[in-house]
Amino acid sequence: MRLEPNLLPRDYPRTVVPADVDAGEWEQLAPLFAELERRNLDTWEALEQWLRDESELAAVLYEERATRYIRMTCQTDDPEPEQAYLHFVENVEPQVKQASNRLDRKYVASPARRALPRDRYAVVDRRIENRAALFREENVPLETEANILQQRYTKTVGAMTVEFRGREHTLQQMTPYLEEPDRATRQEAWELVAARRLRDREELNRIYDELIALREKIARNAGFENFRDYAFRQRERFDYTPEDCFRFHEAVEQVVVPLMRELQERRRRKLGLELLRPWDMYVDQKGRPPLRPFEKVEQLISGCARIFERVDPALAENFDRMMELRLLDLESRKGKGPGGYQEDLAEHRLPFIFMNAVGLEGDVRTLLH
């Protein structure tokens, strides 16, 4: 499938961004930023309208990037969506970041800022102030490098397949074999996947090391000692601190880790094994055949739709709309990026769900959540 936002219903028409603007070309975006930068923001009414208009432009840009990212991850071995995504990351996003920072600073400096209704704008105000404080021009090219590295990782992992019993499988498609009662099958599947990942370990390690160096440099440029502290601010984690996380880690170590060891020992005994191995972690402890709630993605979708109908009619209606608009890409296939995510199509105010479903009970829980 190929996501086509232009074919989606436009329930929220644009008011300031021209309908025919190409959000993938900076030359067409620059005048829109310039107009916002020229406006007078002396009254809170003018500032409020400015925020609405700036938000519309931001939504258009967010959706353009999201669309290109979705297309790229849905088929990482197709050069067309890859180049479209990289074009945006390398040629549009750096310009947008600098222009957006000028708008952020204009907002922060506005004399009308404090007159905005606090109950409506307190979170927005804090977000823009934080964004302006973190911005460093020298970080823009470093962030571009980091995005390119992450794309390289996605493409590398998306290309991983193995030959298993006469058929090519993605690594995700090998997961069901780890639930099989036959231990030799589980071990063969696990070792095959591990060996395939190890073939690319030098490339993956190289990407990881380069990302660490880039992120540490970005953090230091912004005045932080390490990337962790920078990331807390960048991701707007205002309500808890790294110290809170350390206390949580200690609680997990004291309470959860002993419980997990106890559960693993119980699993070892029930399976009648001398030593529990990685390929023993997903099989049913009573030797029952694995749950296979669906064979095809269409069955996963229709089954979850029935669950939503029983939970809440409005929820079911929203899910039906996602099906109708083809906002689900759920099956695992060769060339598809790893993992799963939910992405926002900000302008249309619709979600898109990306998964690598392979017929597991866990796939049902993932889609439901």
- Beta partners for 342? 353
Instruction: Inform me whether the pLDDT recorded for 5 exceeds 90.
Output: no
CA distances from 338 to 50, 120, 323, 330 (A): 39, 38, 22, 11
pLDDT tier, 266 (very low <50, low <70, confident <90, very high otherwise): very high
Backbone φ and ψ of 212, nearest 5°: -60, -50
Residue pair 279/186 in contact (Cβ under 8 Å)? The answer is yes
Q: Which residue has the tokens 């099958």?
A: 185
pLDDT tens for 27-60 read 999 999 999 999 999 999 999 999 999 999 999 9
Mean pLDDT of 288-307: 95
pTM (2 decimals)? Answer: 0.93
**What is the Cβ-side half-sphere exposure of residue 299, based on CA atoms within 13 angstroms?**
11
* CA dist., res. 158 & res. 171, Å (int): 9
* CA dist., res. 349 & res. 9, Å (int): 10
Mean pLDDT of 214-232: 98
Q: Which helix (H) or strand (E) holds 306?
A: helix 297-311
Report the SS3 class of residue 40: coil
How much is the pLDDT for 175? 96
CA distances from 213 to 143, 201, 227 (A): 12, 18, 10
* CA dist., res. 165 & res. 167, Å (int): 6
Q: Which helix (H) or strand (E) holds 122?
A: helix 118-134
Instruction: Inform me whether the pLDDT recorded for 278 exceeds 90.
Output: yes
Residue pair 176/358 in contact (Cβ under 8 Å)? The answer is yes
How much is the pLDDT for 329? 96
Q: Which amino acid is at 287?
A: G
Tokens describing residue 190: 């696990």
pLDDT tens for 63-97 read 999 999 999 999 999 999 999 999 999 999 999 99
- Beta partners for 320? none
Counting residues of the chain whose pLDDT is more than 90, the rounded percentage is 98
Mean pLDDT of 223-235: 97
Angle (CA) 65-334-293 rounded to 5° is 100
Counting residues of the chain whose pLDDT is more than 70, the rounded percentage is 100
Domain spans in the chain, listed from the N-terminal domain onward: 5-135, 240-285, 297-368
Backbone φ and ψ of 356, nearest 5°: -125, 65
* CA dist., res. 356 & res. 152, Å (int): 19
Torsion on CA atoms 361, 177, 341, 319, rounded to nearest 10: -30
* CA dist., res. 310 & res. 251, Å (int): 37
CA distances from 238 to 83, 107, 126, 131, 229 (A): 36, 21, 10, 13, 11
pLDDT tens for 164-187 read 999 999 999 999 999 999 999 999
How much is the pLDDT for 200? 97
How much is the pLDDT for 349? 96
Q: Which amino acid is at 125?
A: D
How much is the pLDDT for 275? 97
* CA dist., res. 54 & res. 62, Å (int): 12
Tokens describing residue 93: 């996003």
Q: Which residue has the tokens 């979600």?
A: 351
